[in-house]
């Protein structure tokens, strides 16, 4: 019943090496890595150089290899590898969220045409089995909301800024610890979290969403005053990937959120990830676990490999109900926007203002802004501004000296 797996592994970075170690240590799976293909011939690696090949075709054209595990950084190179592997009748396991988010429809189609599996549990929240849970457990439940912390780097940084560090200090620390890349753009501007959200949407709702359709704003411009605003209300900052369903419309957003103590992610700190799913019947479920790291990511890859022994395929069972759904920007979101520039803040159109505050060197407004307005402003490039979504029913109060406070006004 169990298929024997002969693996061709692309990439021997931290996850690839993790998988190699895990396969060496576990007695629970009988899978054999036949080839490891890497790009850089000169890089020093922890196992002997004789284990490595440099030509992708060593794997792709070896008919004995029935399982390709793709763990490289370069999404474009990964695309060519994955497509060719699927077309050659090989099952593929990938952890490359950018590749998957940008080409999901085509990759699903190619896998189906060639009657092979394309699995990618590790691509979303690493060790948290959220894709499998959406596929298997929620396939009969109507989902109204999926939200979570899908990026460990930004959660680590926000945990540090909540503890009083500046953004620059926290980023440096994350880089020193190896959580953040030297160019952290994909993480700190919310792109990584957006790729993951678009994959979650496919499995939760059946709809394929181009990541470009999703508003993503990251954490780069958070200032001490923004953190302070949250602290006064016992809020914590989390970069949340959020999609809610309102009748036949989906509203996906990736942005910092102020969350209250009753929020499922409130106590999910440091590099941990969490995903909360709200279903019509199951009510709210939250899954919390390691969203990054060699072994947690490798364990998710391994669980996919193990599933291949039993010919497991994603069924995308929600596709049958997805045709009525669409993505909308026509939705107002309750946000906080802080700014060092009163002028730049004033230029943001609010549909409805709840609070407005002006200090000597900092200003903020809260209230409803339409998602299409948010999309029109390139927030990731606007250093003076910081935006965060407010908890539902926020009724914060203000009481400061020497400062102009206009609170709870409907229109200014």
> Among 29, 75, 327, 342, which residue interacts with its own copies (rule: CB under 8 A)?
29
Check residue 396 and report its DSSP letter: -
Distance CA 52, CA 29 (A): 23
Considering CB under 8 A, how many residues would be counted as binding its own copies?
A: 53
What is the DSSP secondary-structure string of 59-124? HHT-TT--EEEE--S-HHHHHHHHHHHHHTT-EEEE--HHHHHHHHHHHHHHHHHTT--EE-GGGT
Residue position matching structure tokens 């503890």: 163
Q: Which of residues 230-269 bind its own copies (CB under 8 A)?
A: 261, 264, 266-267
Distance of closest approach, residue 20 Cβ to its own copies, in angstroms:
12
Contact (CB, 8 A) for 147 and 276: yes
**Closer to its own copies by Cβ: residue 255 or 288:** 288
* Closest CB to its own copies among residues 257, 290: 290
Contacts of 190 (CB under 8 A, 6+ apart): 151, 154, 216, 217, 218, 219, 239, 254, 255, 380
The two tokens of residue 23 are: 């396969």
**In the range 298-317, which residues lie near its own copies by CB under 8 A?**
298-300, 302-303, 305-307, 310, 315, 317
Q: Is 353 in the site for its own copies (CB under 8 A)?
A: no
322 touching its own copies, by CB under 8 A: no
Interface with its own copies, residue 144, by CB under 8 A? no
Closest CA to 156 of 137, 135, 178, 134: 178
Q: Kindly tell me which residue out of 53, 114, 139, 208 binds its own copies, with binding defined by CB under 8 A.
A: 139
Q: Least separation, in Å, of the C-beta of 286 and its own copies?
A: 4
Q: How far is the CB of 266 from its own copies (least distance, A)?
A: 7
Classify residue 96 by its DSSP letter.
-
CB 273 within 8 A of CB 150: yes
Which residues are the active-site residues? 196
User: At CA 302, angle to CA 299 and CA 304, rounded to 5?
Assistant: 120
Stretch that binds its own copies, among 103-111, 120-128, 344-352, 370-378 (CB under 8 A): 120-128
| Site for its own copies contains 384 (CB under 8 A) | no
CA distance 359 to 341: 11
* Residues 44-83 as x/- pattern, contact with its own copies by CB under 8 A: ----------------------------------------
Nearest approach in angstroms of CB 288 to its own copies is: 4
Asked if 255 contacts 239 with a C-beta cutoff of 8 angstroms, the reply is yes
User: What length is written for the chain?
Assistant: 412
d(C-alpha 123, C-alpha 150), whole Å: 10
Per CB under 8 A, the list member of 133, 332, 370, 384 interacting with its own copies is 133
Which residue ranges make up the site for its own copies (CB under 8 A)?
A: 18, 22, 25-29, 121, 127-129, 132-133, 136-142, 261, 264, 266-267, 279-290, 293, 295-296, 298-300, 302-303, 305-307, 310, 315, 317-318, 320-321
């Amino acid at each position: 019943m169990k298929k024997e797996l002969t693996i061709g592994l692309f990439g021997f970075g931290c996850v690839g090496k993790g998988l190699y170690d895990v396969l060496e240590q576990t007695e629970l799976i009988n899978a054999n890595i036949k080839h490891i293909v890497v790009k850089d011939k000169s890089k020093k690696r922890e196992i002997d150089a004789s284990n490595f090949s440099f030509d992708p075709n060593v794997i792709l054209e070896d008919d004995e290899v029935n399982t390709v595990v793709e763990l490289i950084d370069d999404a474009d190179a990964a695309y060519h590898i994955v497509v060719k592997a699927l077309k050659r009748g090989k099952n593929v396991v990938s952890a490359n969220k950018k590749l998957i988010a940008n080409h999901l429809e085509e990759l699903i189609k190619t896998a189906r045409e060639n009657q092979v599996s394309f699995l990618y549990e590790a691509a979303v929240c690493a060790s948290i089995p959220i894709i499998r849970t959406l596929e298997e457990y929620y396939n009969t439940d109507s989902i109204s909301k999926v939200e979570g912390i899908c990026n460990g780097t930004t959660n680590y940084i926000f945990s540090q800024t909540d503890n009083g560090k500046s953004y620059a200090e926290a980023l440096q620390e994350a880089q020193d610890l190896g959580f953040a890349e030297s160019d952290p753009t994909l993480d700190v501007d919310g792109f990584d979290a957006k790729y993951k959200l678009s994959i979650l949407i496919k499995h939760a709702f059946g709809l394929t969403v181009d990541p470009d359709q999703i508003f993503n704003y990251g954490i780069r411009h958070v200032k001490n005053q923004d953190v302070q605003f949250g602290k006064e209300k016992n809020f914590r900052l989390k970069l949340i990937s959020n999609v809610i369903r309102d009748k036949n419309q989906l509203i996906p957003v990736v942005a910092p959120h102020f969350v209250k103590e009753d929020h499922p992610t409130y106590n999910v700190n440091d590099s941990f990830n969490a995903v909360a799913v709200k279903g019509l019947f199951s009510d709210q479920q939250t899954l919390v676990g390691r969203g990054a790291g060699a072994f947690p990511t490798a364990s998710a890859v391994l669980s996919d490999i193990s599933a291949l022994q039993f010919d497991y395929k994603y069924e995308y069972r929600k596709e049958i109900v997805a045709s009525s759904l669409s993505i909308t920007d026509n939705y107002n979101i309750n946000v906080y926007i802080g700014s060092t520039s009163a002028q730049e803040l004033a230029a943001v159109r609010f549909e409805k203002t709840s609070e407005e505050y002006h200090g000597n060197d900092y200003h903020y407004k809260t209230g409803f802004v339409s998602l299409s307005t948010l999309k029109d402003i390139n927030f990731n490039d606007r250093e003076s501004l910081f935006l965060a979504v407010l908890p539902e029913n926020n009724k914060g109060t203000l009481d400061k000296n020497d400062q102009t406070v206009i609170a709870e006004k409907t229109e200014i």
